Amino acid sequence: MTIRIDARFAQLKKENRSAFVTFLMAGDPDPVTSLEVIKALPKAGADIIEIGMPFTDPMADGPSIQAAGLRALKAGMTLKKTLAMVRDFRKADDATPIVLMGYYNPIYIYGVDRFLADAKSAGVDGLIVVDLPPEEDSELCVPAMKAGLNFIRLATPTTDDKRLPAVLANTSGFVYYVSVTGITGSASADSRAVGEAVARIKRHTALPVCVGFGIRTPEAARAIAGEADGAVVGTALVDALRGSLDSSGKATVKTVTAVTELTAALAAGVRGTR
Amino acid sequence: MSQLRPNSYRSGPDERGHFGIFGGRFVAETLMPLILDLEKAYAEAKADPAFHAEMNGYLKNYVGRPSPLYFAERLTEHLGGAKIYLKREELNHTGSHKVNNVLGQLMVARRMGKKRIIAETGAGQHGVATATLCARFGLECFVYMGAVDVERQQPNVIRMEMLGAKVIPVQSGSRTLKDAMNEALRDWVTNVHNTFYCIGTVAGPHPYPMMVRDFQSVIGEETRKQMQETEGRLPDSLVACIGGGSNAMGLFHPFLDDPSVEMFGVEAAGHGLTQLHAASLAGGRPGVLHGNRTYLLMDDDGQIQDAHSISAGLDYPGIGPEHSWLHDVGRVKYLSATDAEALEGFQLLSRLEGIIPALEPAHAIAKVMELAPQRPKDHLMVVNLSGRGDKDVPQVGDILRGKTK
């Protein structure tokens, strides 16, 4: 198992604060800019970096992240290039955990064993694959564990107490609680309901619980981080990136700072919680 | 899975929803509990004689079943070979085979207490069937339809709205059936507590491919009985068009274990298999999309490619998982027909039999034009006339008058 995720949560525990987890799409708006953005995230306050693997048909994503994936694909992004990007990132940063998030088909076509070996050697720590529930664990989850990668599972408001043990069984690194039923970028979560849900999950596991979906502002990040071990922000960062692009969708001099400024503000929100 | 021939071609799927390597339940965790509930509710309904009695009542008096098995005498004479029978699914209420499945699913939805129904549609036939039965049962209905399809199948859009459904044009991706399904899944994941997703074909996560197949099998069961009554024996071959493949699966499934019956599924070859098309078995490979593993059109990075077909109902880059399995084990032969060939089939049937077919089964007719002349006169060939062509009249009229390509 890679140790970066466990080490990061151990360190945060010492600092008595929650994790700020960022999500951006690999290759958005182009592979070069995307690498620059990702490289700048730790200094701006990201504790864990989730990187989206672009897919044509992201059925759990809202319009912002759908568009980000299509921008990346249009710019020539592939799964192979996403892994190369992680490899480049690792040259300068060997501590910040990297979690790849996406859908199964590109991984299946790349070849599961080859993907796991390449991801591990590139410096990937964990995987979140939206369309692989526990019922399909033999596809990727079990092989990933054997290959030494964390398979991070999504728990949702529809995951009841009866089902939680199955969802948590092969999960490692952390648990990602999806705070609303819905797609990314949809309605924001109520922090009290989130607190109750996190407490419920913690009755079943010792793993850290991070919460995502519907967190857009430093205030919301602060409220959620107060109830969980981490807050994940994706759509708001993707929107900030998009807002910096020129009219043809190309990166501008403002692109990296547009993302890092919001990252810093959200990180300050998260850090203000305890 | 074993490479050996199975004892029966009709025993799938296994308890995890697999037909060989195909099928499965590749969905977001949010949906998984509901999918397990659905599996349970469907198993209970299937075992309940009252469910079947009620369904048979609606099939007879509301849908108008059994649909006739009609001897196409002039088509047979014209082609000069096999004796061709049409299974007249286009005579069903709502104009296609889609209603068989929608009736079954909405009866399950009612048992589950779901009041809000969503559906995806390509040609609009599934949308119309869903809107119709939602009106009949007093359920709220939302239909996702690609913006391109909204444009080319206007008559069905108007029909759905008259029936009280809300049609939501989908602007993402290629703006056709695949994207309508993505959007329906996004709605479902958001409104999972009160919503039933009525999938229109033999695809999606388990139990949908099995459940839809079961509801459509009435087509093949009737055909079997009708052919016995008419000719005193089983048909020699079956022909049906395939988008997702529900009309084909409905016709084929009851005959899968009759080795004397040849089966042909006809995919949409669009502009031709070397160009833009929708033939996922002929031009695709196994992958995972929309809840199941099946043959898909995609690039080397696993990105799904846009399909193309003149027929909105076949314009989908995948196919039901059971068809993928039947293809791999060789039980069913899969062919394809181009846009141009389908237009020929469309015109031939209209002029020889006075039946205007939908563009979807026109693909099946196109292959009958090739297959029938190669067969002897005592060969009994059944083609599933899965839908009527009213919805396609404006589009085909424009094409034939040279207004569009």
Q: Is residue B8 part of a domain?
A: no
Instruction: Quote the mean pLDDT of chain A.
Output: 95
Contact A197, A175 (CB under 8 A): no
**8 Å CB contact of A181 and B189:** yes
| Segments forming the whole domain that contains residue B140 | 18-58+97-212
**Which of B25, B30, B189 is the closest to A135 by Cβ?**
B25
B144 shares a domain with B69: no
Q: Is residue B1 part of a domain?
A: no
Residues B21-79 pLDDT 10s: 999 999 999 999 999 999 999 999 999 999 999 999 999 999 999 999 999 999 999 99
Q: Quick one: what percent of chain B has pLDDT higher than 90? A: 94
Contact B206, B213 (CB under 8 A): no
Q: What is the pLDDT of residue B1?
A: 47
| pLDDT of B5 above 70 | no
As a whole number, mean pLDDT of residues A70-82 equals: 98
B112 shares a domain with B208: yes
B351 shares a domain with B310: yes
Confidence of residue A170 (pLDDT cuts 50, 70, 90): very high
Confidence of residue B88 (pLDDT cuts 50, 70, 90): very high
The total number of structural domains in chain B stands at 2
B235 shares a domain with B207: no
Integer Cα distance of A109 and B279 in angstroms: 19
Q: What is the pLDDT of residue B152?
A: 84
Which of B212, B230, B257 marks a domain boundary? B212
CB neighbour list of residue B129: distance below 8 Å, 6 or more residues apart:
B94, B96, B98, B99, B101, B102, B200
Residues B142-156 pLDDT 10s: 999 999 999 988 999
Residues in chain A: 274
| pLDDT of A225 above 70 | yes
| Among A66, A142, A139, A156, residue whose Cα is nearest residue A102 | A66
* Residue B189 in contact with partner chain A when CB distance is under 8 A: yes
Q: What is the pLDDT of residue B7?
A: 85
CB neighbour list of residue A127: distance below 8 Å, 6 or more residues apart:
A99, A100, A101, A119, A140, A144, A149, A150, A151, A152
B186 shares a domain with B253: no
Contacts of B116 in chain A (CB under 8 A): none
Residues B62-75 pLDDT 10s: 999 999 999 999 99
Q: Which helix (H) or strand (E) segment is A198 a member of?
A: helix A191-202
B265 shares a domain with B352: yes
Q: φ and ψ at B344, to 5 degrees?
A: -65, -45
| pLDDT of A222 above 70 | yes
| pLDDT of B404 above 80 | no
Confidence of residue B2 (pLDDT cuts 50, 70, 90): very low
Q: What is the pLDDT of residue A2?
A: 66
Confidence of residue B372 (pLDDT cuts 50, 70, 90): very high
**8 Å CB contact of A105 and B290:** no
Integer Cα distance of B330 and B323 in angstroms: 10
B292 shares a domain with B184: no
CB neighbour list of residue B393: distance below 8 Å, 6 or more residues apart:
B155, B356
For residue B395 the two structure tokens come to: 């589009």
Q: Which helix (H) or strand (E) segment is B334 a member of?
A: strand B333-338
Contacts of B30 in chain A (CB under 8 A): 60, 154, 156-158, 178, 181-182
Rounded to whole angstroms, what are the CA distances from A215 to A119, A150, A161, B45, B265? 28, 24, 25, 41, 48
Contact B95, B285 (CB under 8 A): no
- The residue of chain B with its CA nearest to that of A176 is B29
| Among B56, B75, B54, B200, residue whose Cα is nearest residue B125 | B200
Q: What is the pLDDT of residue A188?
A: 75
Which of B191, B212, B233 marks a domain boundary? B212
Contact A57, A9 (CB under 8 A): no
Integer Cα distance of B245 and B219 in angstroms: 13
Integer Cα distance of B64 and B62 in angstroms: 6
- Is A61 catalytic? The answer is yes
As a whole number, mean pLDDT of residues B285-314 equals: 96
How deeply is A192 buried, as exposed, middle or buried, from its count of CB atoms within 10 A (0-12, 13-18, 19+)? Answer: exposed
Quote the Cα angle for B93-B98-B100, to 5°.
75
CB neighbour list of residue B175: distance below 8 Å, 6 or more residues apart:
B146, B147, B148, B149, B169
Domain A4-182+189-266 sits in CATH at: 3.20.20.70
B290 shares a domain with B345: yes
As a whole number, mean pLDDT of residues A220-244 equals: 96
Contact A92, A215 (CB under 8 A): no
| pLDDT of B3 above 60 | no
Residues B157-193 pLDDT 10s: 999 999 999 999 999 888 989 999 999 999 999 999 9
Q: φ and ψ at B3, to 5 degrees?
A: -85, -5
| CATH value at residue B166 | 3.40.50.1100
**8 Å CB contact of A131 and B172:** no
Place of tokens 């207490």: B113
As a whole number, mean pLDDT of residues A150-173 equals: 95
Q: φ and ψ at B118, to 5 degrees?
A: -120, 155
As a whole number, mean pLDDT of residues A207-236 equals: 95
B251 shares a domain with B376: yes
Q: Is residue B12 part of a domain?
A: no
Integer Cα distance of B27 and A60 in angstroms: 9
* Residue B24 in contact with partner chain A when CB distance is under 8 A: yes
Contact A154, A30 (CB under 8 A): no
As a whole number, mean pLDDT of residues A62-76 equals: 96
Q: Is residue B11 part of a domain?
A: no
| pLDDT of A30 above 60 | yes
Q: Is residue B71 part of a domain?
A: yes
Q: Is B267 helix (H, G, I), strand (E, B) or coil?
A: strand
Q: Is residue B235 part of a domain?
A: yes
Instruction: Quote the mean pLDDT of chain B.
Output: 96
Q: Is residue B2 part of a domain?
A: no
Q: Is residue B329 part of a domain?
A: yes
Supply the DSSP symbol for B232: S
* Residue B302 in contact with partner chain A when CB distance is under 8 A: yes
Q: Is B71 helix (H, G, I), strand (E, B) or coil?
A: strand
For residue B223 the two structure tokens come to: 């055909």
Dihedral sign, CA of B320, B326, B331, B332? positive
* Residue B242 in contact with partner chain A when CB distance is under 8 A: no
Dihedral sign, CA of B313, B319, B321, B323? positive
Supply the DSSP symbol for B258: -
Q: What is the pLDDT of residue B4?
A: 59
Contact B396, B312 (CB under 8 A): no
